[in-house]
């Protein structure tokens, strides 16, 4: 068995941070349809962006930059940054782009490809998915001068067929969820091969160890609270496999878990604690280059990193979500004929996964809104607002088509 041969090898840690900020829609009443085609709550978007930049992105980037320099090349990380948030940086806070550039210049940071608009296009249309991925790749190239070879789909959504598309676009590594229902008895802490294209290597998120930090760090009802770096290092060191993939929302640092709870101190101590415990940090492409795949990881139904089921029902689980989703992508063909840049831009933003997430009817039974970033009191409001916007958008597409 592979892992016996590799026993002498250091355990690899693949730490990857994911960044996205939704483009929130403004309150859009039905009498705006056909009268007003500005869909976004610019003020709310800007306010939320400023907040996450101040609380998370800038302080966390500064800490990571110091750590990378202090570790002299031994601390390596990856970032997946959506096009939506990059656009918002360019518009409202270009200094954040500079701080990511500084991180990239260390040579210890890998930028990972994703969909431009944090979209669910992989579940709707292969054409649109390819378009989204290419657009993001171009954006990263133009801003940071690198071309990603690792891919991480929106919400870590993965299936064999998505893997096949991604592989055909030139990526050789893909990040996915180490979902229990797909892995069975197997450990997520190895490199796996795509069941359809074995050349495509998979890194599977260790959801338990990832969520210990990203999800539970400040949960006082958690029996492991407070989480010390010693305790956590011990858990990671005891993970059975070769590569432990820790994929986290970057906003967990400073926004979800406030600075006052010690999350930044925890982050600052993490690299040396792991290195001292005999582990090494690798970027995703280093992980898949340095470890052989242990076998296929077949996935027919799409997996994601959300919820106990790790499926896509958070976004497409009810008829409201499915209806809105279908109506949106039904416009794709017409858009292709029209070829209008403004329409394409709106089409992209309307694809953002958050639009569908807010329509999750499980929020009805959850009582209070689960997500404080959710601007809608109930899924009804989310659906109605979105459909009103989509009605206007649809009128614009049809009008442009008629003019052609």
Partner 1 sequence: MKVLMFGWEFPPHIAGGLGTACEGIVKGLAHNGVDTIFVMPSASGDEDQSCTTIVNASDVAVTCVSAGVDEFINKVKFISVDSNIVPYVDPEEYFAAIEKMKAEKRHEMTVGFGQKFKFSGKYGANLLEEVSRYAQVGGTIAVRYASEFDVIHAHDWLTYLAGIAAKELTGKPLVVHVHATSFDRGTDDMVDSRVYAIEKRGMEAADRVVTVSDLTRNIVINRYGIDPAKVVTVHNAVDFSGRDDVEVSRGVRDKVVTFLGRITFQKGPEYFIEAAAKVLKRTKNVRFVMAGSGDMMNRAIRQVARLGISDRFHFTGFLRGAEVQKMFALSDVYIMPSVSEPFGISPLEAMRSNVPSIISHQSGAAEVLKYAFKVDFWDVDAMADDIYALLQYPSLSEFASRAGYDEVNSLKWNGATAKLKDIYESLLQ
Which residues are catalytically annotated?
155
- Of the pair 310, 385, the CB lying nearest partner 1 is at 385
- For 169, the token pair is 């676009």
The total of other beta-carbon atoms located within 10 Å of residue 260's CB is 8
In the complex, the smallest distance separating the C-beta of residue 382 from partner 1, rounded to whole angstroms, is 11
Contacts of 119 (CB under 8 A, 6+ apart): 128, 129, 132, 154, 348, 351, 352, 353
Contacting range for partner 1; rule: CB under 8 A; set: 25-33, 54-62, 79-87, 238-246: 25-33
Structure tokens at 42: 């610019």
Asked whether position 380 contacts partner 1 by CB under 8 A, the answer is yes
Binding test (CB under 8 A) with partner 1, winner from 52, 217, 388, 397: 388
User: Counting contacts by CB under 8 A, is residue 378 touching partner 1?
Assistant: yes
Closest separation in Å from C-beta 29 to partner 1: 5
Beta strands in 74-180 (DSSP E): 77-81, 109-112, 150-152, 173-177
Least spacing, CB of residue 236 vs partner 1, in Å = 41
Q: How many residues bind partner 1 (CB under 8 A)?
A: 21
* Closest approach of partner 1 to the CB of residue 359, in Å: 10
Q: Does 143 bind partner 1 (CB under 8 A)?
A: no
Report the relative pairing of strands 296-297 and 109-112 from DSSP bridges.
unpaired
Which CB, 142 or 365, lies closer to partner 1?
A: 365
Residue 67: which of 108, 105, 36 has the closest Cα? Answer: 108
CB of 325 to partner 1, least distance (A): 11
What's the min distance (Å) between Cβ of 30 and partner 1? 4
352, 383, 392, 397: which one binds partner 1 (CB under 8 A):
383
In this complex, which beta carbon is closest to partner 1, that of residue 218 or of residue 318?
Answer: 318
> Nearer Cβ to partner 1, position 39 or 89?
39
Bridge partners (DSSP) listed for residue 174: 151, 202
Tokens 């992989």 locate to 122
**Stretch binding partner 1 (CB under 8 A), from 159-167, 251-259, 328-336, 373-381:** 373-381
Find the binder of partner 1 among 25, 33, 175, 350 (CB under 8 A): 33
Q: Show contacts with partner 1 in window 327-366 (CB under 8 A).
A: 361, 364-365
> What's the CA gap between 358 and 377, in Å, rounded?
9
Strands (E), 181-256: 191-194, 201-205, 243-249
Residues in contact with partner 1, shown as a per-residue x/- string from 285 to 324 under the rule CB under 8 A: ---------------------------------xxx-xxx
391 in contact with partner 1 (CB under 8 A): yes
Contacts of 79 (CB under 8 A, 6+ apart): 16, 17, 18, 19, 100, 103, 109, 110, 111, 112, 250
Parallel, antiparallel or unpaired: strands 279-282 and 11-19: parallel
Phi and psi based region of residue 219 (left: phi greater than 0; alpha: psi -120 to 50; beta: remaining): beta
Closest approach of partner 1 to the CB of residue 403, in Å = 24
**How many whole angstroms separate alpha carbon 244 and alpha carbon 404?**
54
> Is the previous residue joined to 226 through a cis bond, with omega within 30 degrees of 0?
yes
Token pair, residue 51, equals 């907040």
Residues 6+ apart with CB under 8 A from 175: 16, 80, 112, 150, 151, 152, 153, 156, 202, 203, 205, 245, 247, 284
The dihedral over CA atoms of 228, 230, 233, 235, expressed in degrees to the nearest 10, equals -80
Q: How far is the CB of 361 from partner 1 (least distance, A)?
A: 7
User: CB under 8 A: which stretch of 28-36, 181-189, 197-205, 255-263 binds partner 1?
Assistant: 28-36
Cβ count within 10 A of residue 138: 13
- Positions touching partner 1 (CB under 8 A) are 29-31, 33, 318-320, 322-324, 361, 364-365, 377-378, 380, 383-384, 387-388, 391
């Amino acid at each position: 068995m592979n892992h016996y041969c590799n026993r002498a090898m250091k355990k690899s840690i693949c730490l990857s941070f994911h960044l996205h900020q939704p483009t929130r829609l403004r309150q859009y009443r039905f009498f705006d349809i056909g009268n007003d085609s500005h869909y976004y709550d610019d003020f709310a978007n800007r306010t939320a962006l400023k907040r996450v930049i101040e609380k998370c992105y800038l302080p966390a980037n500064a800490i990571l930059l110091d750590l990378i320099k202090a570790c002299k090349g031994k601390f390596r990380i990856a970032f997946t940054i959506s096009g939506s948030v990059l656009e918002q940086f360019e518009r409202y806070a270009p200094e954040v782009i500079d701080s990511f550039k500084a991180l990239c210049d260390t040579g210890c940071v890998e930028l990972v490809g994703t969909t431009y608009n944090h979209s669910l296009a992989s579940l709707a249309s292969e054409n649109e998915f390819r378009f989204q991925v290419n657009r993001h790749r171009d954006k990263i190239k133009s801003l940071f001068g690198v071309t990603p070879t690792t891919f991480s789909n929106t919400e870590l959504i993965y299936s064999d067929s998505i893997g096949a598309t991604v592989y055909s676009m030139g990526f050789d590594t893909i990040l996915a969820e180490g979902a229990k229902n797909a892995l069975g008895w197997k450990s997520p802490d190895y490199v796996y091969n795509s069941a359809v294209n074995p050349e495509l290597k998979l890194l599977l998120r260790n959801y338990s160890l990832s969520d210990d930090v990203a999800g539970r760090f400040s949960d006082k009802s958690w029996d492991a609270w407070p989480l010390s770096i010693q305790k956590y290092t011990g858990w990671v060191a005891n993970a059975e496999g070769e590569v432990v993939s820790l994929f986290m929302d970057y906003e967990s640092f400073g926004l979800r878990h406030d600075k006052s709870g010690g999350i930044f101190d925890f982050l600052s101590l993490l690299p040396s604690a792991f290195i001292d415990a005999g582990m090494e940090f690798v970027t995703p492409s280093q992980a898949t280059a340095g470890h052989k795949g242990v076998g296929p990881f077949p996935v027919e139904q799409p997996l994601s990193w959300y919820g106990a089921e790790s499926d896509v029902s958070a976004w497409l689980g009810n008829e409201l979500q499915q209806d809105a989703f279908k109506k949106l992508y039904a416009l794709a063909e017409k858009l292709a004929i029209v070829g209008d840049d403004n329409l394409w831009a709106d089409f992209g933003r309307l694809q953002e996964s958050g639009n569908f997430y807010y329509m999750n009817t499980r929020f009805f039974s959850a009582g209070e809104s689960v997500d404080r970033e959710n601007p809608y009191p109930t899924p009804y409001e989310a659906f109605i607002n979105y459909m009103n916007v989509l009605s206007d958008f649809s009128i614009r597409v049809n009008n442009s088509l008629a003019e052609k």
